[in-house]
Structure 1
Amino acid sequence: MRISTVICAYTDERWDDVHAAVDSVRRQRREPYEIIVVVDHNPGLHRRLKESLADCVVIENAGARGLSGGKNTGVAAARGDVVAFLDDDAVAEPGWLAHLAAGYDGPRVAGVGGLTRPLWPGERPAWFPEEFDWVVGCTYRGMPEGRAPVRNLMGGNASFRREAFEVAGGFASHIGRGRDRRPLGCEETEFCIRLRQRSPESVLLFDDRAVIWHKVPAARARFAYFRSRCYAEGLSKALVTASVGGRDGLSSERAHALRALPRGVAAGLRDLARGRPAGASRAGAIVVGLGLTAAGYAAGAMRRRVP
């Protein structure tokens, strides 16, 4: 099995991060078939990366500005049997590709994703609930452990068979990061759901042995970003449900809100009762985060109804 690895870059500010991501792929126990770096409408960065990453395929995003266009460009250029995606501000552990590849042990497996851990700019904020680690692009409490089928994979640590794109098409350019300044997302969620709607027998696997570490900038460790990201997630989910329907588009979110989040609030209150004030902060952040996400979804749904 040949695995092409795609890294999407867009800003000169992540110059060192992009090189660290590429180096982590070079050091994999299972050698990648090729490393593709897609630069999002930044000619200067494209020229610099093309010179510094001579052993990689460095190309410009041929689609719409944003992460979806970059991923689609990477898929179109890839020659491997499987296309794996790694965030430009993440580093993969040496066994990452090997564990992703091991998941394709059956013909029904269309995609495999892994565990994404946060690299905080210092200590983890005491108020930040693990149930909301998706805010900083990481695996969150409430996701399965070990190896298990899931509805969708997280885009910064995911892989798909090439045939999956032939069945489902590409990532939707109107969903996810792009020109909008809001921290939108969910392009991989919509793609995964669309894939399984068109190919119900397909299986998507989560394997927590396929580990990457995702850098969290100081600005994203603040409560202001937490609030804005939660609201933006609601807006993104409204776009997802408009594309694939509310039943599939919100199935995992309903389960998370009804199971993991109440447990998180209860755990925070127990910590408070034991003399740990940060427990109250975490419980409060869960309530605020859920409320803002719901508000964002309502606003996004209302926009769709207004002619």
Structure 2
Amino acid sequence: MNPSPLAITIVVPTYTEKRWDYLLRTLASARAQTHQPAEIIVVVDHNPAMFERARAELTGVTVLANAHPQGVSGNRNTGAEHAVTSLIAFLDDDIVADQHWLARQIEPFADPRVVGTGGAIVPAWAGPAPRWMPAEFLWAVGGSYAGMPTETAPIRNVWSANMIVRRDVFRAVDGFRVGFGKLGDRNRPEDTDLCLRMSAIGGGRWMYVPSAVIQHEVPAERASFRFFVRRCYAEGRGKVQMAGLHQNDPLGAERSYLWSLPKAFLRHLGGAVRGQGLDQLLRAGGVVAGVAAAGVGGVVETVSARRSARRPVVRPAQ
């Protein structure tokens, strides 16, 4: 097979039948693209019953079982290892892509320096959007956040819920770091880690395409303040863990983002003072809570890493 340079495979990782209806919606939107994918691959993460159901009921797609240890990183890598096209797109199993998503997001690949792209992620709230949620923290529910580019522009990293990569560069870095991503209560930025490693090859760059839009489901339990605080805490821990795997200031973008948050706090607080409603005051509080939770997570992980480094290595007796 000799695929076209713009031929693309879509990989959709999944793991539980509880999201079956979401998965069907995702696949329907993938099939409806104005730029048709060469292949759609669904990879099931160590769930034999769901794997058999997917093979029996899903038509027009390739169904694979995760060939790596449990976790979404290995799930995605399994799909990428099967793909033969020059481009590979990753979508989560709870999204709906705009029909022009693929056509718009592959445009930057006309530049050979581009190793990957990402598009806009709009939260699809199951109920009303939380009144206290600052737009600057929409990343906590998997969405694009205030302050990101509004036109196609270079960016340090994108998110795996909406990502396209050059297959040769992706494979050159061995794909997502297996065992590092999201599993159980661990929430580590495997997508940022991938972007940094791919960019390191020949100075390649990533592009953010805000006109390439997907909607990402946000169930009611993820719209709670409790989830928000826990997610920010996990992000703080995860970014410190990631920093330990890289050199050359991997957290520069995070520092720039943090410097933007006092302005967001003052803007929301000022809106409350000017009588723009209680929501503005709640969002100011959301900024403070998000920063505090991420900061605590970062400190906890830093202390934990230092203790581990000081712990003596016990070697077995000869």
Q: 2:205 aligns with which of 203, 206, 209?
A: 203
Q: Which amino acid aligns with 1:238?
A: V
Comparing 214-223 with 53-62, greater Cα deviation is found at 53-62
Equivalent position of 2:292 in the other structure: 291
1:262 aligns with 2:265: no
- CA shift digits 1:91-146 (9 cap, x unpaired): 10000110111121111111011000000112211100111111111111111111
**Offset of residue 245 of structure 1:** 3.2
SS of residue in 2 equivalent to 1:243: coil
Q: 1:243 aligns with which of 241, 245, 249?
A: 245
Q: Which amino acid aligns with 2:112?
A: P
Q: TM-score, normalised by structure 2?
A: 0.92
Equivalent position of 1:39 in the other structure: 44
Runs (5+) with no aligned partner, structure 2: 1-5, 312-318
Q: Which amino acid aligns with 1:274?
A: R
Equivalent position of 2:178 in the other structure: 173
Contact 1:37 1:74 (C-alpha < 8 Å) held by counterparts: yes
d(CA) in 2 for partners of 1:229, 1:302: 19
**Offset of residue 29 of structure 1:** 0.4
Q: RMSD of the TM alignment (CA)? A: 1.2
1:230 aligns with 2:239: no
**Offset of residue 246 of structure 1:** 6.8
**Offset of residue 49 of structure 1:** 1.1
d(CA) in 2 for partners of 1:189, 1:65: 20
Contact 1:271 1:277 (C-alpha < 8 Å) held by counterparts: no
Contact 2:188 2:242 (C-alpha < 8 Å) held by counterparts: no
Equivalent position of 1:116 in the other structure: 121
1:127 aligns with 2:129: no
SS of residue in 2 equivalent to 1:154: coil
Contact 1:175 1:236 (C-alpha < 8 Å) held by counterparts: no
Equivalent position of 1:186 in the other structure: 189
SS of residue in 2 equivalent to 1:6: strand
Runs (5+) with no aligned partner, structure 1: none
Contact 2:88 2:164 (C-alpha < 8 Å) held by counterparts: yes
d(CA) in 2 for partners of 1:185, 1:50: 30
SS of residue in 1 equivalent to 2:110: coil
Q: TM-score, normalised by structure 1?
A: 0.96
Q: Which has the larger radius of gyration?
A: 2
Equivalent position of 2:3 in the other structure: none
| Runs of 4+ deviating beyond 6 Å | none
SS of residue in 2 equivalent to 1:258: helix
SS of residue in 1 equivalent to 2:34: coil
d(CA) in 1 for partners of 2:202, 2:46: 33
Return closer, same or farther for 1:90/1:4 CA change in 2, 3 Å cut-off.
same
* Matched pairs, number: 302
**Offset of residue 301 of structure 1:** 2.0
Equivalent position of 2:281 in the other structure: 280
Comparing 113-122 with 168-177, greater Cα deviation is found at 168-177
Equivalent position of 2:12 in the other structure: 7
